[in-house]
């Protein structure tokens, strides 16, 4: 079980302030100091540095924080599994990025949940960076992300590979012939917000060609995929979105794909969870079940309940 000192330590990791942790945990500041000192003695290393009036984690502190984050998460799951033995529903905190949630996993997830009435699921849709933070704090068990993540901190399983495509309004001259990325730099780009996986993949692809978002004539940040599509469909710039998000719109003539001369920009959408979790096999099983549901959805099989 989680020790009260480790609870204090993890809270200080979050606040980087002994004073704020004391207020949040309703204990005194000297008590916070005592708890941290006890852990430093137990592990034989400094966990925090205080320089220029700022508190920061040491390398040893980072190692302990990451290890305890996994332990706290797994302890919660163990309690829930034990409770499920007496008939209580198991819970699953499931995170998805915006594109993955709306256009990749929604149908397979619905099919999966119809088959698993024993699960109580909380689904959170947000940017990749937010989901990674929630995994660390233990409020999520696993997440399907399209952005980049540190493979030293997370285990994962690729769910699918998606292509990032450029789109414009129907009838635009931009769609008349294959173009290079450089040809598009004079255009107005409508792009997702900083922290979005879609944006990170685009920035990475541009950087590989010694380009950046600053090279476009103008950029507009929008947090909603559907608003981006509506703006572009009405002639307000171009956008780079995953093919799954624009396929129906292109087929309906609402948007038009811009063919690029370069190889396609492709990126994996990956299920991830904290490295070292005792429940890794369960998470991998979840990925396999969802993949089976995705295949069944593509084949048009009727869902079973």
Strands 90-96 and 239-242: unpaired
Mean pLDDT, the chain, rounded, equals 87
**Residue 148 pLDDT class (50, 70, 90 cuts):** confident
Residue 213: per-residue pLDDT: 95
Res 198 pLDDT > 60: yes
pTM recorded for the entire structure: 0.67
Whether residue 273 has pLDDT greater than 80: yes
Residue 1 has pLDDT above 70, yes or no: no
Q: Taking 60 as the threshold, does the pLDDT of residue 204 lie above it? A: yes
Residue-wise pLDDT tens digits, 222-268:
999 999 999 999 999 999 999 999 999 999 999 999 998 888 899 99
User: Which of the residue ranges 27-31, 74-78, 86-90 would you say has the lowest mean pLDDT?
Assistant: 86-90
Q: What integer pLDDT is reported at residue 83 of this predicted model? A: 66
pLDDT at 293 (0 to 100): 87
Q: What angle do CA 157, 286, 149 make, to 5 degrees?
A: 30
The whole-number pLDDT of residue 305 equals 45
For residue 211, the tally of other CB atoms under 10 A from its CB is 16
Give the model confidence (pLDDT) of 33-71 as tens digits: 999 998 999 889 999 998 888 899 999 998 888 888 887
**What is the predicted pLDDT for the residue at 48?**
92
Place of tokens 């635009």: 172
Q: Which of 191, 189, 188 is nearest to 221 (CA)?
A: 191
pLDDT, position 144: 93
Taking a C-beta distance cutoff of 8 angstroms, is the pair 256, 165 a contact? no
* Average pLDDT over every residue of 162-183: 88
């Amino acid at each position: 079980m989680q020790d009260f000192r480790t609870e204090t330590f993890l809270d200080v990791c979050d606040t980087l302030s002994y004073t704020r942790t004391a207020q949040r945990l309703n204990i005194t500041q000297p008590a916070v100091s005592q708890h941290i000192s006890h852990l430093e003695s137990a592990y034989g290393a400094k966990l925090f540095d205080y320089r220029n009036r700022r508190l920061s984690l040491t390398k040893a502190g980072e190692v302990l924080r990451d290890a305890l984050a996994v332990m706290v998460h797994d302890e919660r799951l163990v309690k829930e599994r034990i409770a499920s033995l007496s008939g209580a529903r198991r819970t699953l905190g499931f995170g998805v990025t915006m594109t993955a949630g709306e256009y990749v996993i929604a149908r397979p997830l619905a099919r999966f949940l119809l088959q698993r009435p024993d699960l109580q699921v909380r689904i959170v849709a947000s940017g990749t960076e937010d989901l990674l933070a929630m995994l660390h704090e233990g409020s999520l068990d696993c997440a399907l992300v399209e952005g980049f993540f540190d493979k030293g901190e997370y285990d994962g399983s690729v769910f699918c590979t998606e292509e990032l495509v450029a789109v414009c309004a129907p009838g635009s001259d931009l769609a008349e012939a294959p173009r290079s990325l450089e040809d598009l730099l004079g255009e107005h780009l409508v792009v997702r917000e900083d922290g979005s996986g879609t944006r990170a993949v685009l920035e990475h692809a541009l950087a590989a060609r010694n380009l950046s978002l600053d090279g476009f004539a103008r950029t507009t940040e929008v947090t909603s995929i559907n608003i981006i599509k509506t703006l572009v469909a009405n002639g307000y710039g171009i956008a780079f979105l995953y093919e799954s998000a624009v396929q129906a719109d292109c087929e309906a003539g609402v948007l038009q794909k811009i063919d690029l001369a370069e190889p396609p920009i492709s990126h994996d959408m990956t299920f991830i969870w904290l490295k070292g979790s005792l429940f890794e096999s369960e998470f991998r099983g979840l990925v396999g079940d969802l993949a089976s549901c995705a295949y069944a959805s593509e084949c048009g099989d009727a869902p079973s309940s």
